[in-house]
Structure 1
Amino acid sequence: MFVRIVKLSFHEENIATFLENFEANKEKIRNTAGNRFLELYQDKNNKSIFFTYSYWETEDDLENYRKSPLFNEVWSFTKKLFNDKPEAWSVDKLVSLV
C-alpha cells in the first residue's frame, strides 16, 4: 500500500465550486477498486490550497483510477478551477502512530 498526496490550488472564487464537486464525488472515488482511504485537507494560512491524501493497494489500482471515466470527469471539471499547477507525490508510509 502507498499514499498519494496531491496539492491543489484554486482561485478563491472557485473554492466553493471545488468543494461541492468533491462532496458529490468523494464516495465514488473512495469506493474505487484499490482505494483504502481518502481525506481532503485545507491549508490553515492559505485557504486556496488543498491537499488530498489517498491510500492505494497498488500502483496499478491508482493508474486504473486515473484512466477511468470517473477520474476524467472529476479532473476535467477541477482543473478549470486552478490558479496554479497541481503537484502530486506517491510515497510509502514508513511509520504511523495512532
Structure 2
Amino acid sequence: MFIRIVKMGFQPEKVETFLSDFKSIKTKVRGFEGCLFLELYRDKSNTNQFFTYSYWENEQALENYRNSDLFKVVWKNTKQYFNQKPEAWSVDKLVSLD
C-alpha cells in the first residue's frame, strides 16, 4: 500500500469554492482505479489549511492518477485557489491500532 498526504493552503475567500469543488469530484477520485481510501482534513486553527490523505494500491496507481485527465482537471481548478505552495509526502504505514 502506498500512502500520500498533501498539504494545501487556500486563499480564505476561495475556501468554500474549494470545498464545493472537492465535494463534486471526491467520488471520482476515490473511484479511480488503484485508489483504496480518500479523506480530507481541515486544520483547526488555520481554517484555510487542508490535507488530503489517500491510500493507493502502489506507487504506479498514484502515478496513473496523476497522469490522468481527471487529475489534470482537478489540479488545474484547485491550484488557482492556493495561497502557498502545496507540500506532499509519500509515507509507509508502520503501525495501525484499532
Q: TM-score range by the shorter chain?
A: over 0.9
Which residue in 2 is equivalent to 1:85?
85
Number of residues paired by the alignment?
98
In 2, the alpha carbon distance for the partners of 1:95 and 1:73 equals 34
SS of 2:55's partner is strand
Amino acid at match of 1:17: T
Which residue in 1 is equivalent to 2:36?
36
Which residue in 1 is equivalent to 2:45?
45
In the superposition, the TM-score normalised over structure 2's length comes to: 0.99
In 2, the alpha carbon distance for the partners of 1:95 and 1:27 equals 27
In 2, the alpha carbon distance for the partners of 1:89 and 1:28 equals 22
Measured after TM superposition, the shift of residue 54 of structure 1 is 0.1
Measured after TM superposition, the shift of residue 2 of structure 1 is 1.7
Measured after TM superposition, the shift of residue 42 of structure 1 is 0.1
Which residue in 1 is equivalent to 2:17?
17
In 1, the alpha carbon distance for the partners of 2:54 and 2:74 equals 15
In the superposition, the TM-score normalised over structure 1's length comes to: 0.99
Which residue in 1 is equivalent to 2:63?
63
In 2, the alpha carbon distance for the partners of 1:61 and 1:31 equals 12
Runs (5+) with no aligned partner, structure 2: none
Which residue in 1 is equivalent to 2:96?
96
In 2, the alpha carbon distance for the partners of 1:62 and 1:80 equals 22
Which residue in 2 is equivalent to 1:54?
54
Root mean square deviation, CA, Å:
0.4
